[in-house]
Amino acid sequence: MNASTISMVVLPKREWESIKNAVNEMKSLLEGKASLEASEEWIESAKARKMLGVSPKTWQTYRDNRLISFAQFGRKIMVKKADLQAFLDAHYISRKEVV
């Protein structure tokens, strides 16, 4: 390595810490955005139905009664994974405490 190609920047420690904190903040924001995007993932109706383990008729009833949010264009029906999880959470029954 040629010594003439090496460049160095000298910063006071306080400024270096400030830069590191800003980079870590940006990293956290980007990681949060990635998890938000994952929750915005759409899945096909048939896959959502299979994930719930319900019959096509029951799935149709859920949609007819607007128990779960969905998007429809033509005959294609899509469901957000986050909405499916919210539906499951809303119908979660916890176990009884044994005394």
Give the model confidence (pLDDT) of 28-78 as tens digits: 888 776 665 655 789 999 999 999 999 999 999 999 999 999 999 999 999
pTM > 0.75: yes or no: no
Cβ neighbour number for residue 82 with a 10 Å cutoff: 15
Angle at 21 between CA 33 and CA 11, to 5 degrees: 140
- Let me know: does 85 contact 69? Beta carbons within 8 Å: no
- β-partners of residue 43 are 79
Q: Is the pLDDT of residue 1 over 60?
A: no
